[in-house]
């Protein structure tokens, strides 16, 4: 049961990170050194997935 709850928690944090990064402008992403196409990868890496 703990594994499922961990997976769901990670998925929710991943989706929140993607949502927040997606709302940034291209200029703001560029300031962070992120290209829009890298949002998925950056969100996954931030959670260690």
CA atoms within 13 A on the CB side of 43: 19
Measured between alpha carbons, how far is 20 from 41 in angstroms, rounded to an integer?
14
Q: Which domain holds residue 42?
A: 2-47
Q: How confident is the model at residue 1 (pLDDT cuts 50, 70, 90)?
A: low
Say how far apart CA 1 and CA 37 lie, in whole Å: 34
The per-residue pLDDT for range 2-36, each reduced to its tens digit, is: 799 999 999 999 999 999 999 999 999 999 999 99
Beta carbons within 8 Å of 29's beta carbon, 6+ residues apart: 21, 35, 36, 39
Q: Does residue 48 surpass a pLDDT of 90?
A: no
Total number of domains in the chain: 1
């Amino acid at each position: 049961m703990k594994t499922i709850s961990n997976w769901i928690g990670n998925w929710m944090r991943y989706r929140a990170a993607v949502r927040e990064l997606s709302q940034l402008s291209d200029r703001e992403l560029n300031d962070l050194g992120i290209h829009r196409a890298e949002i998925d990868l950056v969100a996954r890496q931030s959670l260690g997935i």
